[in-house]
Amino acid sequence: MGKVRLEKTLQDKVNANETIFVPYIMAGDGGLDRLEETTHFLQTCGATAIEVGIPFSDPVADGPIIQEAGIRALSHGTTLATVIDKLATFKDNRSIPIIIMTYLNPILSYGIDRFAADCEKAGVDGVIIPDIPMEEEEIVSGSLQEKSIAFIRLAAMTSPKERLVELAKRSEGFLYAVAVKGTTGERERHDNKVHAYLKLLKDNSSIPVLAGFGVSNAEQAQQLSKACDGIIVGSKIVQLLHEGKWNEIQHLIEGSIRPNVQKVR
């Protein structure tokens, strides 16, 4: 389970030349009782895995839409502990990997070893921690490795080549390629250098590379996935869920994973 299941699920998509699609959702937005229903819906729409965000008071990587969703979730009393507890209640009723995205402070407050153990019990397959630098990651990496939970690293376009290569070698599950210079949120277009950046990561990674941040429609998803293995969509999914536009989410996912033009390799 855990890391092994996540990597196998993604690699099966790569081997089949299919686009990986990972939606991001904010746990507790609209109430934590919605989490199981939302997870099941995204699974039936064709999501490869689901990134479950934990609301936090100082989300440095998040743009306005996800920040607002986090505030709504916090108003419902959502915490890291309540999300893990909720995930545990339906771990046998989902068939795709679950990834938790949280900041370091909630993990430290929770207790690192306890966090890893409870994630394992809840069927969590991977963890993303955007505010822990590579030089400090040993704070959590050992505990996650012990429980076979993938520690997913983020790579930034502003990092030097040497650092990107090292991150590509270290990441587990997949390498999260941040495709914009800034926080999450919808963008009309991506930097024209993004394909070269993704190619560099692909050339140095033994696991799938997924592009995230700024992806808001199927056309962008298909363009980015030419140069990598798939995409992560957050703000658009969060906004559509908040507005109850489930059909649009289904169309976005189906349009993004539809066979596209030849990938750049």
Q: What is the 3-state secondary structure (H, E, C) of the chain?
A: CCHHHHHHHHHHHHHCCCCEEEEEEECCCCCHHHHHHHHHHHHHHCCCCEEEECCCCCCCCCCHHHHHHHHHHHHCCCCHHHHHHHHHHCHHHCCCCEEEECCHHHHHHHCHHHHHHHHHHCCCCEEECCCCCHHHCHHHHHHHHHCCCEEECEEECCCCHHHHHHHHHHCCCCEEEECCCCCCCCCCCCCCCHHHHHHHHHHHCCCCEEEECCCCCHHHHHHHHCCCCEEEECHHHHHHHHCCCHHHHHHHHHHHHCCCCCCCC
Give me the residues paired with residue 20 across strands.
230
The residues annotated as belonging to the active site are 51, 62
